[in-house]
Structure 1
Amino acid sequence: MHHFRQALLRMRQGDSDRDIAAARIMGRPKAAQWRRLASEHGWLDPALALPDDEAIAAALGSPRKASTTISSLEAQRERVSGWVEQGVSGTAIHAALKRQHGWAGSYSAVRRLVADIRSQLPPETTCRLDFEPGEAAQVDFGAGPTLVHPDGQPRRTWAFVMTLAHSRHQYVEFVWDQTVATWLGCHRRAFEWFAGVPRRVVIDNAKCAITRACAQDPTVQRAYAECAEGYRFKIDPCPPHDPQKKGIVESGVKYLKGNFLPLRSFRDLTDLNAQARTWVLDEAGVRCHGSTRRSPLALFALEAPLLQALPAQAPDLGTWHRVSVHRDCHVQFERILYSAPFALVGKTLWLRATDAAVALFEDYRHVATHPRGQRAGQRVSVREHLPPEAQAFFGRDRVWCTGQAERIGPACQALVEQLLADRILERLRAAQGVLALLKPYGQARLEAACARALAHGSAHYRTVKTILATGADLRCDTPAPTPAVYGHTRFTRPATELFAELTPTRIPHPQQDLLH
């Protein structure tokens, strides 16, 4: 439009079309055409005011010529328009037309039609979000390199990235998984890295943070809600399918993948994280950021005092899980069994797991707390959680039997110790049976029965029970009198007398001495 106004001004001054073309304003044919059009509108009169741009544009009309070429896909325009509005790519549209509608044309025809349809759609607009110092941080996961896991198998790592929205300073940590426990631990270490907490954390709708994604009413993981409460920050999940709301950290993850990971080698996860921390401080933190035109560390020096202070005592971060109490009075978590009161068998409880302990809750009521198990298959039990009969069964061990027998009397203690000392047969139940006779017969009779059984050399449960059942422990038996004739045995000689008769020259023979 500027060229047309300049040409019209020179025409009013008396310049010819050749002069206008020499000034490189427009060519002679175009100048001649513009002179005729200006003359028709009376714009060549120097006494009149120059027309405005809108009047000139209306006189010139549309500069584009209508295309006379009709696309071979014109019959499919409506269908293709629907696919384009849904975000389907051109190659997928071309394949669908060939597969579903038998179209044999080239991809170029599809590309031209898609371009024409998109040119008629309203343009996409966006706006940049600005954040005050200490206002927000954005968090995201990105794929990392494949390393050898401690179990010996190669496994992909994941990069946890938290970026302060104002300064663009980052915290980067590579982890093996994206579990809730890992998510919470990364948040704790990130806040300690920044030595402060932002007022708001913008996240994606990952399952470790959001259990139900929704633009208006998302449901937050119970453990993550406790983390936010403990560190005093607000959780701000992005609407579903709208990752641009956290575009700062998205760009940070892309920058990490493009500038840190290539052309580097890592021994293990520890070496990977050590190199990442050095890269953040020595390279990423001192670069001139493309958006702020300042280095992240320089801006972080201004933002750090405006972050919220860390709590005096770090919150006890734990993960919540739904578990069922099995018939053996135990719940299972990560292949480790933890006991629960027998009255809760068949019910579903909440289990809260931290690094050191596991706690069980029935709704809001605390049920039990156990130390965290260390190996798969381990059984962490409290005897009081078992039914009374099971507690009695497991409580009557060897130590219990020995203590009970000692309180009854020395004879009972000797008999029980003899039962438990058997090196061939396990006789714990026999000892328990002997002690069970205390209730129906009393302490005195049981002690007397044990003494009588020991006197007869029959330390058995059935012997003690028979003595008590027949009342033999109540009889006072006296030994039968021995006749005087048996006072001296005829064939019994002491060894001194036997060997005194032997002469030194004779070698004694055992059988001959016995006959003699």
Structure 2
Amino acid sequence: MHHYRQALLRMRQGDSDRDIAAARVMGRPKAAQWRHIAQAQGWLDPALPLPDDEAIAAVLQEPRRASSTVSTLEGHRERLSAWVEQGVSGTAIHAALRRQHGWVGSYSSVRRLVADIRSQLPPETTCRLDFEPGDAAQVDFGAGPTLIHPDGQPRRSWAFVMTLASSSHQYVEFVWDQTVATWLGCHRRAFEWFAGVPRRVIIDNAKCAITRACAQDPTVQRAYAECAEGYRFKIDPCPPHDPQKKGIVESGVKYLKGNFLPLREFRDLADLNAQARAWVMDEAGVRCHGTTRRTPLALFALEAPLLQDLPSQAPDLGTWHRVSVHRDCHVQFERVLYSAPFTLVGKTLWLRATDAAVALFEDYRHVATHPRGLRPGQRVSVREHLPPEAQAFFGRDRAWCAAQAERIGPSCVALIEQLLSDHVLERLRAAQGVLGLLKPYGRERLEAACTRALAHDSPHYRTVKTILATGADQRCDAPVTTPAGYGRTRFTRPAHELFADLIPTPQPDLLH
């Protein structure tokens, strides 16, 4: 447009087409054509003001040629426009036309009409977000290499990436899963890596962080909310289906996959993380960043003092789970059983698990706390959680029986020892039954009954109970006296007398 205005100005000054061409404003044929148009518009009169650019452009604009061909899909233009606005791909539109409307045209026709529809739509616009130092960090997961899991099977690893939005310095850790416990642990180690906490953490809507995705009122996972409260940062989830809101970490994950993972070998997960930390500090941290045009570590040196301080005591991060109290007064978590009060059998509780302990809550009322189980199938129990009859049974063990017998007397001790020392039959209940007779009969009668049972060589619960029930322990039976005549029987003899006649008598030596 500048050349047309310059040519018009020279024509008003009396320059010929040759002069305009010599000044390299435009060629002679084009100058002659432009002179003809300007003269028709009356723009060569020096007394009139020069036309503006819009008027010149309107004159120079060539009329659009009408297309000589009409698309066979012109009758479906309105339907295709609605599909394009919904983001449906061209291949899906082509398949839907063939399936629903019996259209037999080629995909090229669909592609041309879709391109024409998209050219008439308003262009998509965006706005780049700027962050102050220490204001925000962005977090995302990315797929990592396949390694051999400790269980011996190959398994996909995942890269946890936290990038400071201002300096683009990042923390990278490869993990086996995306559970809530892993998510919280990665946050803890990332904050310790940066030696500070940003004021906001921008995330997507992963289930380990957001239980209900919503642009206006998202629901935060309970354990993650406790983590944010402990480290004093705010959770800023992106709206659903809008990952551009955390484009900094998205680019960081892409850079990690394209620059770090290719052409490297990893022995195991520990070796992978060691190489990743070295790569962050020696390569990624000292590169010239494509957006900031500065090295991330240099910018991080300015951002680090503006991060929030780490808490003096690290928060006790735990995960929350819903568990049911079974008939045996235990709940199950990760194949370990933990006891709960028997009054809660059949109810659903909240279980909060940390690395060292497991706590049970009924709504917000604390119920019990147990040390964390170490092996599958382990039963972590508190005796007070069991029903009263079960507490009584398990509380009366062998040591309790022995202690109670000593309080009663030596005969009771001897009888209880014989009951518990049986090598064939477990007689703990019998011993408990004998000691249970103390309450209705008293110590003296029970000791006497045990003495009588031992005298008759019958150390049994039924014997002791029968003696007490019949009052035999209270009878003073006189000892049986044997008459003097029966001191030695008349028809019995010792063996040496019985066989005395059969022993030969030694004869004297006749030679002497």
TM-score calculated relative to the size of structure 1: 0.93
Secondary structure of 1:224's counterpart equals: helix
1:83-140 residue CA offsets vs partner (Å, 9 max, x unmatched)? 1111111122122222222222222211111111111001111111000000000011
1:301-339 residue CA offsets vs partner (Å, 9 max, x unmatched)? 000000000000000011111222222211121222111
Stretch deviating more after TM superposition (199-208 or 50-59): 50-59
- How far apart, in 1, do the equivalents of 2:79 and 2:249 lie? 37
Decide whether aligned partners of structure 1 residues 200 and 62 sit closer, same or farther in structure 2, where only a CA change above 3 A counts.
farther
- Show the counterpart of 2:288: 288
Pairwise CA distance, 1:46: 3.9
- How far apart, in 1, do the equivalents of 2:493 and 2:252 lie? 110
| 1:78-89 matched pairs, under 5 angstroms | 78-89=78-89
Secondary structure of 2:445's counterpart equals: helix
Secondary structure of 1:182's counterpart equals: helix
Pairwise CA distance, 1:488: 4.9
- Show the counterpart of 1:177: 177
1:424-449 residue CA offsets vs partner (Å, 9 max, x unmatched)? 11111111111121122111111111
| 1:109-188 matched pairs, under 5 angstroms | 109-188=109-188
Query: Could you tell me which amino acid in structure 2 is paired with residue 159 of structure 1?
Result: A
Query: Could you tell me which amino acid in structure 1 is paired with residue 217 of structure 2?
Result: D
Pairwise CA distance, 1:211: 1.1
- How far apart, in 1, do the equivalents of 2:33 and 2:151 lie? 82
| 1:55-134 matched pairs, under 5 angstroms | 55-61=55-61, 64-134=64-134
Does residue 378 of structure 2 align to residue 378 of structure 1? yes
Pairwise CA distance, 1:492: 4.1
1:26-57 residue CA offsets vs partner (Å, 9 max, x unmatched)? 45444333211100122223454322212212
Does residue 493 of structure 2 align to residue 491 of structure 1? yes
| 1:16-415 matched pairs, under 5 angstroms | 16-17=16-17, 20=20, 25-61=25-61, 64-415=64-415
- How far apart, in 2, do the equivalents of 1:155 and 1:306 lie? 39
- Show the counterpart of 1:426: 426
Decide whether aligned partners of structure 1 residues 12 and 120 sit closer, same or farther in structure 2, where only a CA change above 3 A counts.
same
Pairwise CA distance, 1:456: 1.1
- Show the counterpart of 1:440: 440
Pairwise CA distance, 1:233: 0.5
Pairwise CA distance, 1:379: 1.3
- How far apart, in 2, do the equivalents of 1:30 and 1:68 lie? 29
TM-score calculated relative to the size of structure 2: 0.93
Taking only the aligned residue pairs, the percentage that are identical comes to: 86
- How far apart, in 1, do the equivalents of 2:146 and 2:197 lie? 31
Secondary structure of 1:78's counterpart equals: helix
- How far apart, in 1, do the equivalents of 2:108 and 2:167 lie? 46
Decide whether aligned partners of structure 1 residues 198 and 382 sit closer, same or farther in structure 2, where only a CA change above 3 A counts.
same
1:191-238 residue CA offsets vs partner (Å, 9 max, x unmatched)? 000000001111111111111111111111111111111101111111
1:223-279 residue CA offsets vs partner (Å, 9 max, x unmatched)? 111111110111111111111111101111111111111111111111111111111
Secondary structure of 1:285's counterpart equals: helix
Secondary structure of 2:227's counterpart equals: helix
- Show the counterpart of 1:510: none
Does residue 474 of structure 2 align to residue 464 of structure 1? no
Pairwise CA distance, 1:6: 2.7
1:155-189 residue CA offsets vs partner (Å, 9 max, x unmatched)? 11111110000000000111111111111110000
Pairwise CA distance, 1:15: 4.2
Q: Which runs of 4+ in 1 moved over 6 A?
A: none
Query: Could you tell me which amino acid in structure 2 is paired with residue 247 of structure 1?
Result: G
Query: Could you tell me which amino acid in structure 2 is paired with residue 108 of structure 1?
Result: S
Consecutive unaligned residues in structure 2, runs of 5 or more: 507-512
Pairwise CA distance, 1:467: 1.2
Decide whether aligned partners of structure 1 residues 17 and 74 sit closer, same or farther in structure 2, where only a CA change above 3 A counts.
farther
Secondary structure of 1:225's counterpart equals: helix
Secondary structure of 1:156's counterpart equals: strand
Pairwise CA distance, 1:23: 5.5
Q: Please report the RMSD computed on the Cα atoms of aligned residues, expressed in angstroms.
A: 2.3
Query: Could you tell me which amino acid in structure 2 is paired with residue 11 of structure 1?
Result: M
- How far apart, in 2, do the equivalents of 1:502 and 1:318 lie? 97
- How far apart, in 1, do the equivalents of 2:176 and 2:244 lie? 26
Stretch deviating more after TM superposition (331-340 or 24-33): 24-33
- How far apart, in 1, do the equivalents of 2:441 and 2:358 lie? 47
- Show the counterpart of 2:509: none
Stretch deviating more after TM superposition (135-144 or 426-435): 426-435
- How far apart, in 2, do the equivalents of 1:109 and 1:441 lie? 105
Consecutive unaligned residues in structure 1, runs of 5 or more: 506-516
- How far apart, in 2, do the equivalents of 1:89 and 1:204 lie? 25
Q: How many equivalent pairs are there? A: 502
Pairwise CA distance, 1:73: 1.3
- How far apart, in 1, do the equivalents of 2:329 and 2:12 lie? 103
Decide whether aligned partners of structure 1 residues 207 and 121 sit closer, same or farther in structure 2, where only a CA change above 3 A counts.
same
1:344-403 residue CA offsets vs partner (Å, 9 max, x unmatched)? 122221111101000011122111000111122221110100111111111122111111
Pairwise CA distance, 1:13: 4.2
- How far apart, in 2, do the equivalents of 1:29 and 1:89 lie? 48
Stretch deviating more after TM superposition (484-493 or 136-145): 484-493
